[in-house]
Structure 1
Amino acid sequence: MSLTDRAIKRAVHEVLAEDKTGAGPAPSGPVLGAERSPELRKFDVLMDDAYRPDCWHMDGLKRQPTGWGPFQIGGYAALPFIAVAALRGVCRP
């Protein structure tokens, strides 16, 4: 039995013509959906929180506060906090 293009096309059409599952036509609309489930959104938040950022990037001090109470320190005065964060292991040096 030789497999020619015509035989393959006919076999594919026959298989597609059969509806063995009884499921009917394919569902309309997005299959995977644009909206994520609450479990997946919670997983995304946990994964973002588990990520250890680089100390020298914008989110490097997201787990290392740069002040006490209502007093926040920024700019060059926050450089010691970067060193503390690197020593504590909350960011990658």
Structure 2
Amino acid sequence: MPVDKSGEDISPTVNLNDLKVGQKVLYHPVGGSQQTTEGIIKEIMTEPEVAGNRQVQIKASETDPRILIENSNTHKETGKEIV
């Protein structure tokens, strides 16, 4: 488990209840990059739908929700898994 500089454990997972539409988040952009970028949560999806700039089918469900994030720099949208 990752540890911050103070020695406190950092949770590797995110709780859905902690996420809100309009919230700024750091995330890894599409393509497997290790860098992070900033975005804004546009929607929390709990059912399949077509979303994002590429109009991709996002496979969301009640048990496996996804978030739609708008990149703060490019303004492109992407659907991300909540991990």
Q: What is the TM-score when the length of structure 2 is the normalising length?
A: 0.27
Instruction: Specify the structure having the higher radius of gyration (Cα).
Output: 1
Q: What is the TM-score when the length of structure 1 is the normalising length?
A: 0.25
Structure with a larger share of its residues in helix: 1
Structure with a larger share of its residues in strand: 2
